[in-house]
Amino acid sequence: MLAFDRPGHGFSERHDSVQTTLEVQARVIHDALQKLSIRKAVLVGHSWGGSLVLAAAVANGQDISGIVLLAPAAYPSVRVEWWSLLPRVPLIGELVVNTLTPFLGRAFVRKSLKQAYDPQDVQHDYVEQSAEMWMRPDHIRACAYDERTLAASLKILSQNYSDIEMPVVIVTGSADRLLDPNKHAYPLQKAIKNSQLVVLPETGHQLPQTRPDAVVAAIDAVWASASI
């Protein structure tokens, strides 16, 4: 298994805080797999990462064995948070990002992860580790750009979901407060022929942390289908 931090997230650098769209990031992942000589991988993505996996499947489906989508953002109805607009404000935006990130970053993380975990309990160690990442201005810029450009990419991408023909499993929580399954997971399952939808009762958005059993089961199912 290989785990990639998207450009500007985690420990990955992002040399261009703008123009690194969903489509560009999908190409980055594809190029990385090619350089590592990994063929016909099963791609797994959560939330925004689910959008990335969908973009990769549409653009390079011939190189992928199957995909697992965990609470994916699939359609342009995604909500744009107000803070993502700050870096675009001339002068003031840079001031806010560079000077206030250490004060605002932790608050943003705690609030968003509380919503993501709900109705499950928040894992405080994970929250603190995530908050540390949000202390970096470059991380804020990357997140802000991703946040405000995703809808435009999904508007175009979603027109091609019916072209996806590989094994697909979509996992969603029935109580997801961030990405309503009725607006994303359910219509996505209808759009992708022969895809499988797994709905987890009383479960929120943060599936990799709260329902690892369901994540592993979905990966096993796609892997088995891809191997037939």
pLDDT tens, the chain, 228 aa long: 999 999 988 889 887 766 899 999 999 999 999 999 999 999 999 999 999 999 999 999 999 999 999 999 999 998 877 667 777 777 677 777 777 677 767 777 888 899 999 999 999 999 888 888 777 888 888 888 898 899 999 999 999 999 999 999 999 999 999 999 999 999 999 999 999 999 999 999 999 999 999 999 999 999 999 876
Residue 97: its pLDDT value, please?
77
Residue 18: its pLDDT value, please?
65
C-beta separation of 166 from 57 below 8 A: yes
Residue 228: its pLDDT value, please?
63
pTM to 2 decimal places: 0.92
From the list 17, 45, 3, 4, the residue with the least C-alpha distance to 136 is: 17
Residue 91: its pLDDT value, please?
67
Residue 135: its pLDDT value, please?
76
Residue 202: its pLDDT value, please?
97
Whether domain 22-227 has CATH 3.40.605.10: the reply is: no
Residue 209: its pLDDT value, please?
96
DSSP letters for the chain: ---PPPTTSTT---S-SSS--HHHHHHHHHHHHHHTT--SEEEEEETHHHHHHHHHHHHHGGGEEEEEEES---STTPPPPGGGGGGGSTTHHHHIIIIIHHHHHHHHHHHHHHHHHTTSPP-HHHHHHHHHHTT-HHHHHHHHHHHHHHHHHHHHHGGGGGG--S-EEEEEETT-SSS-TTTTHHHHHHHSTT-EEEEETT--S-HHHH-HHHHHHHHHHHHHHHH-
Residue 218: its pLDDT value, please?
98
